[in-house]
Amino acid sequence: DAGVIQSPRHEVTEMGQEVTLRCKPISGHDYLFWYRQTMMRGLELLIYFNNNVPIDDSGMPEDRFSAKMPNASFSTLKIQPSEPRDSAVYFCASNQLQVNTGELFFGEGSRLTVL
């Protein structure tokens, strides 16, 4: 079975550019999470969805960040405009709470570098 699929794996962009990260969760999972990982702050939850509806976006750093989930098999995290401090690895994860007792299945991450 395919796991969580993220793209791109690596993105290098210049400050001020728009960045879009993509995620395909595991089929049948009804929760989707976006995390950001840095050396300084570790793994931080940015936002999560249940049945395509955003439940908690309190971790989104500022208005430059936005996330959507137009259907059960696709989500995007957009940064506009990007800044050097946004450089991090962004992970998407999914689960099916009632079945997996909360286990998160992570993608391989998107490494973002903003110059």
Partner 1 sequence: TQLLEQSPQFLSIQEGENLTVYCNSSSVFSSLQWYRQEPGEGPVLLVTVVTGGEVKKLKRLTFQFGDARKDSSLHITAAQPGDTGLYLCAAGKYGNKLVFGAGTILRVKS
Identified binder of partner 1 from the candidate list 50, 61, 83, 99, rule CB under 8 A: 50
The distance of closest approach from Cβ of residue 36 to partner 1 in the complex, given in angstroms and rounded to an integer, is: 11
Burial class for 77, CB neighbours closer than 10 Å (0-12, 13-18, 19+): buried
Site for partner 1 in 52-71 (CB under 8 A): 55-56
Instruction: Output 52 or 81, the one with its CB closest to partner 1.
Output: 52
CB of 94 to partner 1, least distance (A): 11
Q: Give me the DSSP letters along 26-65.
A: PTT--EEEEEEEETTTEEEEEEEEETTEEEE-TT--STTE
- Which one of 5, 20, 104, 113 is in contact with partner 1 (CB under 8 A)? 104
Task: Supply 108's token pair.
Answer: 């391989």
